[in-house]
């Protein structure tokens, strides 16, 4: 998984301003981060799944000091204070397909290294396509409330 992420996703995301930051205490989790102009961080994550040869792809928005693993799942409607404080994430499959669940929507599997690289490439390009709308909406919802902006102001 690490090789596919470094060879494929890194090459596609770095030209768009993302940098790969690993979570040193947890193997199999790869976050690409990009600082926004409003001091929030956009995230594309690839996470090894629970079953062998599976992985998850997620998008998120977090505060600069927050680890993407601490972010909470996105919800409809107004974000609560914890989501505004820490950040949010959603599976790429849910962003694309909505709440309608089907097998393979959130977890991706592979048999060969070539299949893995192909799937990472496909999902990275999809993240670049649908990400801006998700990140903008999530950032707007995280910043609601003037008391919160004052709390997080530098």
Q: What's the rounded Cα separation, in Å, for the pair 52 and 56? A: 12
Q: What pLDDT, in 10s, does the model give residues 75-116?
A: 776 777 888 888 899 999 989 888 777 677 788 999 999 999
Neighbours of 79 (CB within 10 A): 21
Decide if 45 contacts 32 (C-beta within 8 A): yes
Mean pLDDT on 13-34: 87
Mean pLDDT of the chain: 86
Report strand pairing: 54-62 vs 107-109: antiparallel
Mean pLDDT on 55-80: 87
Q: What's the rounded Cα separation, in Å, for the pair 149 and 84? A: 10
DSSP state of 37: T
Q: The whole model's pTM is what?
A: 0.87
């Amino acid at each position: 998984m690490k090789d596919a992420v470094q060879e494929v996703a890194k090459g596609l995301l770095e030209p768009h301003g993302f940098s790969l930051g690993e979570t040193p205490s947890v193997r199999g989790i790869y976050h690409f981060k990009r600082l926004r102009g409003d001091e929030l961080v956009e995230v594309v994550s690839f996470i090894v799944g629970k079953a062998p040869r599976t992985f998850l792809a997620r998008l998120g928005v977090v505060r600069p000091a927050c680890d993407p693993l601490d972010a909470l799942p996105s919800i409809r409607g107004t974000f609560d204070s914890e989501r505004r404080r820490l950040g949010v994430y959603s599976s790429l499959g849910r962003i694309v397909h909505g709440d309608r669940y089907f097998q393979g929507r959130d977890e991706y599997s592979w048999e060969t290294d070539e299949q893995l690289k192909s799937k990472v490439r496909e999902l990275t390009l999809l993240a670049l396509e649908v990400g801006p709308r998700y990140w903008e909406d999530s950032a707007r919802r995280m910043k609601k409330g003037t008391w919160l902006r004052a709390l997080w102001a530098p």
